[in-house]
Structure 1
Amino acid sequence: MLSKRGLLIILKDNMNPETKICQNCKKDFTIEPDDFSFYEKIRVPAPTWCPECRSIRRMVHRNERNLYRRTCDVTGKKIISIYRDDCPYTICDKDYYFSNDFDPFKYGVTYNSNAKFFEQFYEFAKKVPLASLFVRNSENCEYNQDMGGASNCYLCSRTHNSKNMLYTYRGNHSSDCTDCFQAIENSEFLYESVNVSACSNSQFIHFCEKCSDSSFLYNCVGCVDCFMCTDMRNKQCYYKNEQYSRTDYKKIIDSYQLSTQEGQQKALKEFEDLLKKFPRRNLTITRSNNVTGDMIFDSKDSHDVFSVKGLQNCAYIWDSSRFSDSMDTYSGMSTELTYEATATTGHSSNCHFCVRVYDGSRDCEYSWFLQNCSNCFGCVGLKDTEYCIFNIKYSKEDYDNLLSKIKSKMREDKEYGEFFPLYISPFPYNDTVAHEYFPQNEQYAKERGMKWGNFEEKNYKVTMPANSLPNDIKDVPDSITGEVISCEHNGDCEHGCTKAFKIIPDELSFYRRRNLPLPKQCPNCRHYRRLAYRNSTQLRDVKCMCEGNNLSNGIYQNTVTHEHGDSSCGKNIKTTIDKDSDYVIYCEECYKKEVY
């Protein structure tokens, strides 16, 4: 039996980088000295799976966007849920779950020292009702997931303190945005935009800040009335990175006829071509020090982190903000000492191997959906309590004694230190965010003990083909909201295509107000189209493509003289940009020379 002291001795003897073989994919991976220090600090063994496999194992517990109609297993009410009807877990209406009628303690079970922990947890967790949706303190948000403080939203996910949002993923403190993706913050009246902050009245803008009244922008800051531009700072009336008079600028915009399908698609194609003619920064790391990864903001002393903000002393964290002294998490904010978890929020602390613990929870392990709890192990759905195991409350002394026995048995069974096995996830692999980052097929999922969800045929009848939609928004009648429109992909894609969709009244009003044509694809296919703008989470080695005073990659001519003059830069750098892309990749120094 391995004691805590024995565990610390093993870790202290390994304060050098160590290469291990992943017990899942069998590939080599490295554990860094700082990683060992963290494992010692929180008293857990070093991981046996590589970072990528660990990420997948966590992500299979996150269905962020797929909704289903089903029956509440407790009340018999018809509900909307992220869990399919054939889910082996007990699913209840969210209103019941968050009410005083729900008593999670009545499902408590006594720990069996003769059985493995994960097997016990699986059987126990299947009996405790899970909320159909995680939507709190929101109004008119029945068809959404993971929301708080929101109102009048439809088919959105991870959207908080926002209103009048449609088909948007990760919107915060924003309003009146449609079809937007990833960190839409403090913005309003946006369409088809990705990673923007403090922007308004714009469409098709990506990685922009403080821009307004603009269209088709990439990496622009402080721009107003700009169209088809990239890497601009504090400009006005610019078209394809050149300035025009306001009169000429307006004529150019009018010539595109952006209220029509044809005009919008023409502009989108030109925009994509334009982006390949300008250098792309190898990584986006802003106001940060001593970090590795990509899309990193206001962080320090962290490695292998992606799409993060406000991190300190962290590693292997994705899509999160304001974490400190944490490793291996996906989704969450404002926590510390977190390890192998997903959706830890609300100033939680020292929680490991957990799914959605929040509102100040602390010192919890191997638990799901805990609100303001402390010292809980193997629990599900508890609120405002402490010293519980499998939803049974103990005295502090009894809790400590039993917990010591459980951990000893888990170490013997090689369970302690591992996140929940893949088979415990309530979701089919293709319903989870893991499938968005790491697309796989049914065979892959089932060979690893995971579920796979088949497409559910709906009983509606298509009343209008996508190619019959009016070309111009001005010609769209009010009756369009009664039509069932076929998606132009018709299921012939890997995007979870629903084959048909509807235009809801609020959506039609938005398109009319913004003078935008109707979409021809279902919301799922549109979401996956935006996913393509997100780089991978794999860092690869490249050389800076800047050729000084010569054409870079035969495409781009520098606008200022660089320190290396006529010769190429050739600096060894890392990037997450796909190796098959046509982008001209510059190092940070060469890129800043051109943009600033």
Structure 2
Amino acid sequence: MQKTCTQCKSAFTVPKEDQKFYEMISPVFGGKKYSIPPPTLCPDCRRQRRLAWRNEKRLYRRKCDFSGQTILSIYSPDKPFKVYEQDIWHSDKWDPMSFGRDFDFNRIFFDQWDELHHAVPLPSMNLRFQNQNSDFTNLSARNKDCYLIFASNDNEECLYSTFIHRSHRIMDCFFTFDSESCYECVDCYESNNLLFSEFCKNCFDSALLYSCQGCSNCIGCVNLANKKYHILNLPVSKEEFEKQFALIKNPAMRREALNKREQLRLTLPHKYMAGFGSENCTGDHISYSRNVKDSYDITYSEDCRYCVWFHKAKSCYDCYGWALPGELGLENHLLGNNFYNVAFSESCTNDVSNILYCRYCENGSKDLFGCIGLQHKQYCIFNKQYSQQEYEALVPKIIEHMKKSGEFGEFFPHRLSPYGYNETVAQEYFPLEESKVKAKGWNWRDAVDESPQAEKIISGDQLPDAIDQTPDEILDWAVKCEVTGKLFKIQKAELKFYRDFGLPVPRRCFDQRHLDRMALRNPRKLWDRQCAKCQKPIATSYSPDRPEIVYCESCYVNTVF
């Protein structure tokens, strides 16, 4: 089926297998199936719409609308929503059912849902629990002594990182797991004392590595396995390694070494898709999965498409995070911990099933439609309780009403997002100027946050190259980012990390450093091209106009290993 995206106007295809999935997951009431129509947006615009509901990193001080206490929240104080501190929100001190209301068939669904959304209190943070001394985190669990880490679990003494898990004392990392004492690493696993490296596993005491495994005491190497004391893929003495390892901590020397590594990298093959142990998959960063298509950062999943950041998921389309496990999902954001048959919903977790168009519904809730903030509930519409018979009679009528208005089959629109577009991950992957966002009728946060209080402001490009030249007083200063001009403070634990590892204080703010790390990964987009060695057709995140040499998996393995 050929369609034209109603948002970007590009042509896209709805394959037959997608159509079969939509029919399979369509709800059934009274023996009648209420078919979900094919999407009106292309896959990229659908993902953009979901990401406009994902505020990962913007934290604000505001009042809890229950206690009046100052709290941290992902909702800025100017937002017209009621926000409760997370522990209060999960308690029995209030009743979300008290906001229940009837459905009005004279109005469209989304406008009525939006009114309920503004009435029901929202939790101050998203999925943050069992943390110790880790207040400045979001989408986080079981972390200890961490600061500004996001979508990250089971870490200790980690700072300024996103998507890190089971790690200790790492900083400025992205998608780094089971590691210790790492700095500025992207897609690294089971590593220790690894600096400025990408796509590495089981590497130690090294820097500037790219796609290496089992290496130690190496600098600037690419595609190496089980090597020791190598620089730019050539063997060196222990003394030469130690000399160069000390030098690369100087920013100018590191840039020079990185340029040499990049020259080497472009002469060596790259695997068409990151990941391993998968069958019949397309996308990037997919491991131990089968029949997963057009998806990214997926593990132990099967029969999924257009998904991102999913673990142990089955039969899901157009979902972003996180499963563990889950089955049958369509057009959801943040869905996990044993869900079944959930569609067009946001932040619904813990044994939920058979729910449509819900937000923040949790803990065994099932058979819900258009609800917000419910736990352990069944047969509810707009937070109002019904009998099973009443529920199964009313929901089909609402679906038919939504079909007439063109709402059924659509995720929550941009205009209903509780965040400004520039506060969300959508801005990271689909950046837009303020004028274009507002022209679309989407939200934008105009408010300017207060700059940090500081005795002195120092420009990032004036910071010393050597950490031993950086005084303790820098903790009282504000640093002006050399790219954005944004002021930021250096934390005490952060300064200790730099001194322990002999690293200079960064010249760029956390947001810019995060974007720099994001740029080291390929885009979440596929192109058709041929393996540079055997000419086999491949679908890869390396666009044809890029300079890398790209191999299919078999040619890559046979060449590199």
TM range (shorter): over 0.9
Q: Is structure 2 residue 518 aligned with structure 1 residue 531? A: yes
Could you tell me how far 1:453 is from its partner in structure 2? 2.0
Name the CA distance, whole Å, in 2 between partners of 1:102 and 1:320. Answer: 33
Q: Which amino acid in structure 1 is aligned with residue 470 of structure 2?
A: V
TM-superposition CA deviations, 1:101-153 (whole Å, max 9, x none): 23212222222222211110001111111112122111112111111111111
Could you tell me how far 1:342 is from its partner in structure 2? 0.6
Kindly report which structure 2 residues correspond to 1:198-347, keeping only aligned pairs within 5 A, or say none: 198-254=190-246, 256=247, 258=249, 260-333=250-323, 334-347=325-338
Q: Which amino acid in structure 1 is aligned with residue 358 of structure 2?
A: S
Match of 1:370 among 349, 361, 366: 361
Could you tell me how far 1:447 is from its partner in structure 2? 2.4
Distance 1:95 1:501, change over 3 A: same
Could you tell me how far 1:98 is from its partner in structure 2? 2.6
Residue equivalent to 2:468: 474
Distance 1:578 1:511, change over 3 A: farther
Asked if 1 retains the 8 angstrom alpha-carbon contact of 2:342 and 2:355, the reply is yes
Across the aligned residues of Structure 1 and Structure 2, the Cα RMSD in angstroms comes to 1.8
Residue equivalent to 2:99: 107
Query: SS state of the match for residue 306, structure 2?
Result: strand
Could you tell me how far 1:457 is from its partner in structure 2? 4.7
Asked if 2 retains the 8 angstrom alpha-carbon contact of 1:310 and 1:323, the reply is yes
Asked if 2 retains the 8 angstrom alpha-carbon contact of 1:161 and 1:173, the reply is yes
Could you tell me how far 1:570 is from its partner in structure 2? 4.2
Query: SS state of the match for residue 471, structure 1?
Result: coil
Residue equivalent to 1:540: 527
Name the CA distance, whole Å, in 2 between partners of 1:249 and 1:465. Answer: 33
Match of 1:40 among 19, 23, 28: 23
Name the CA distance, whole Å, in 2 between partners of 1:340 and 1:273. Answer: 42
Q: Which amino acid in structure 1 is aligned with residue 501 of structure 2?
A: R
Name the CA distance, whole Å, in 1 between partners of 2:16 and 2:484. Answer: 51
> What is the total number of aligned residue pairs between the two structures?
547
Name the CA distance, whole Å, in 2 between partners of 1:339 and 1:295. Answer: 21
Could you tell me how far 1:278 is from its partner in structure 2? 2.3
Q: Which amino acid in structure 2 is aligned with residue 354 of structure 1?
A: S
Name the CA distance, whole Å, in 1 between partners of 2:93 and 2:224. Answer: 56
Gaps of at least 5 residues in structure 1 are: 1-17, 492-498, 547-568
TM-superposition CA deviations, 1:515-569 (whole Å, max 9, x none): 21111111001001001011112211334444xxxxxxxxxxxxxxxxxxxxxx4
Residue equivalent to 2:89: 97
Could you tell me how far 1:346 is from its partner in structure 2? 0.4
Residue equivalent to 1:551: none
Q: Which amino acid in structure 2 is aligned with residue 592 of structure 1?
A: V
Could you tell me how far 1:366 is from its partner in structure 2? 0.3
Residue equivalent to 1:10: none
Name the CA distance, whole Å, in 2 between partners of 1:137 and 1:103. Answer: 23
Query: SS state of the match for residue 264, structure 1?
Result: helix
Match of 1:590 among 536, 552, 555: 555
Could you tell me how far 1:452 is from its partner in structure 2? 1.4
Asked if 1 retains the 8 angstrom alpha-carbon contact of 2:281 and 2:291, the reply is yes
Of the structure 1 ranges 303-312 and 340-349, higher mean CA displacement relative to structure 2 is found in 303-312
Name the CA distance, whole Å, in 2 between partners of 1:579 and 1:502. Answer: 42
Q: Which amino acid in structure 1 is aligned with residue 198 of structure 2?
A: H
Q: Is structure 2 residue 141 aligned with structure 1 residue 145? A: no
Asked if 2 retains the 8 angstrom alpha-carbon contact of 1:542 and 1:573, the reply is yes
TM-superposition CA deviations, 1:368-387 (whole Å, max 9, x none): 01112111111111112222
Residue equivalent to 1:156: 149
Asked if 2 retains the 8 angstrom alpha-carbon contact of 1:535 and 1:578, the reply is no
Residue equivalent to 2:349: 358
Residue equivalent to 1:181: 174
Asked if 1 retains the 8 angstrom alpha-carbon contact of 2:487 and 2:509, the reply is yes
Name the CA distance, whole Å, in 2 between partners of 1:302 and 1:471. Answer: 46
Q: Which amino acid in structure 2 is aligned with residue 584 of structure 1?
A: I
Residue equivalent to 1:556: none
Name the CA distance, whole Å, in 2 between partners of 1:490 and 1:416. Answer: 41
With normalisation by structure 2, the TM-score equals 0.93
Q: Is structure 2 residue 457 aligned with structure 1 residue 463? A: yes
Could you tell me how far 1:455 is from its partner in structure 2? 6.0
Match of 1:118 among 84, 107, 110: 110
TM-superposition CA deviations, 1:348-399 (whole Å, max 9, x none): 1111101011111111110001112111111111112222111122222222
Name the CA distance, whole Å, in 2 between partners of 1:529 and 1:257. Answer: 19
Query: SS state of the match for residue 288, structure 1?
Result: coil
Asked if 2 retains the 8 angstrom alpha-carbon contact of 1:146 and 1:157, the reply is yes
Q: Which amino acid in structure 2 is aligned with residue 383 of structure 1?
A: Q
Could you tell me how far 1:285 is from its partner in structure 2? 4.2
Of the structure 1 ranges 453-462 and 28-37, higher mean CA displacement relative to structure 2 is found in 453-462
Q: Which amino acid in structure 1 is aligned with residue 298 of structure 2?
A: V
Name the CA distance, whole Å, in 2 between partners of 1:338 and 1:490. Answer: 39
Q: Is structure 2 residue 534 aligned with structure 1 residue 574? A: no
Asked if 1 retains the 8 angstrom alpha-carbon contact of 2:360 and 2:374, the reply is yes
Asked if 1 retains the 8 angstrom alpha-carbon contact of 2:414 and 2:443, the reply is no
With normalisation by structure 1, the TM-score equals 0.88
Query: SS state of the match for residue 356, structure 2?
Result: coil
Name the CA distance, whole Å, in 2 between partners of 1:470 and 1:540. Answer: 43
Distance 1:218 1:102, change over 3 A: farther
Q: Which amino acid in structure 1 is aligned with residue 295 of structure 2?
A: V
Residue equivalent to 2:32: none
Query: SS state of the match for residue 371, structure 1?
Result: coil
Residue equivalent to 1:424: 416
Name the CA distance, whole Å, in 2 between partners of 1:277 and 1:505. Answer: 42
Asked if 2 retains the 8 angstrom alpha-carbon contact of 1:168 and 1:181, the reply is yes
Could you tell me how far 1:264 is from its partner in structure 2? 3.4
Asked if 2 retains the 8 angstrom alpha-carbon contact of 1:536 and 1:578, the reply is no
Distance 1:422 1:228, change over 3 A: same
Asked if 2 retains the 8 angstrom alpha-carbon contact of 1:181 and 1:193, the reply is yes
Asked if 2 retains the 8 angstrom alpha-carbon contact of 1:389 and 1:399, the reply is yes
Match of 2:58 among 53, 66, 79: 66
Query: SS state of the match for residue 497, structure 2?
Result: helix
Q: Which amino acid in structure 1 is aligned with residue 525 of structure 2?
A: Q
TM-superposition CA deviations, 1:47-101 (whole Å, max 9, x none): 2221111111111100111222233333332222222222232223223223332
